[in-house]
Structure 1
Amino acid sequence: MGYTAQVREFTMACNDDLPAHPQNMTAEGIAFIRQMVNDEMDELMDAQTVTEQADALVDAIYYICDFAVRNGINLDPLFNIVHNANMQKVVNGRVIRREDGKILKPEGWEDPAPKLIREMTRQAREGGFNKK
C-alpha cells in the first residue's frame, strides 16, 4: 500500500467525507497546506537529531498526501510515473550532469506529462482509489 492509500485509510477512519473523484483545490486549502508544510520545514530547521529531522519530513509528506486525498487525488500512481521518468535519466547506472549540477535528460527520455494526464483522466473517470 502506497503512502497516499495509507493516509486515506487514516482520513476515512476520522469519518471525514472524501470525494470519489479528483476535484480542484481551493485557494484556502492550498494556503492551509502551504502553512502546514512550512511549519514542518521550520521543525526540520530546528531539529537537533536525525530522528527529529526524519519526523518533520514524514509529517510534511503526510500533510501533502492528506491534502491530495481530501481532494480525491491518489498520488501513488502519479509518483510512480514521475519516478519512472527520473529513472530514464540514469544511463549505465549514473546520471549525467551539467557543470551547474543539473541532471540532463538523455536521448530518448520521455516527458511524464502525457502519462500524468492519462492517469488524472482515469482518476476523474473511475475515482482515484479504484483499482485499475
Structure 2
Amino acid sequence: MSELDDIRRQYESGKLDSIKEDLGHFICLHRAKILDYRAEQEGKGLSLPDDAAIKFYLLRYRSINPQREIKEQLEEIQREKWIRGVLTGCAPDAQEVALEWARTHSAAWRQHRVTTIVYVFEQEKDRYCAMLRT
C-alpha cells in the first residue's frame, strides 16, 4: 500500500478528523499572514489563488498544531520503547531510544505529516478557502 493509499484510508475512516479541526483553526488563526504571504508573492509577479496561497503557506510553515504533533511523536517514541523492551526482555534506556528515534525517524515523520495535512486540505479545500475569505 502506498503512502497516499494509507492516508486516504485514514481520512475515510475518520482518523484524520483532528487534522481537519487543526487545519481549520490554523487557517483562521493565520489568515492575515496567509494573505500577507499571497500579497508578497503577487509583488514578485506570482498570482496565487486561495488554495495555492494556503498550500504554499502550509508547506513553508510545516506545522498546524505543534502541541498535538509533539504529543504524537512522543507516543511513537513510547511505542518504540515498548517494542525494544519486548525484544530484549528488559526496559531500554529511554533517552537513548528517544535520541535514536529523533535521528532516524523525525524527518520522515514530519514529511509524512505535511503530506497528510496537504491531503486533508485537498479533500475540503473549498471549505478551507472560504475560511480565508471570511
The verdict on a shared fold, with TM-score over 0.5 as the criterion, is no
Q: Smaller-chain TM-score range?
A: 0.3 to 0.5
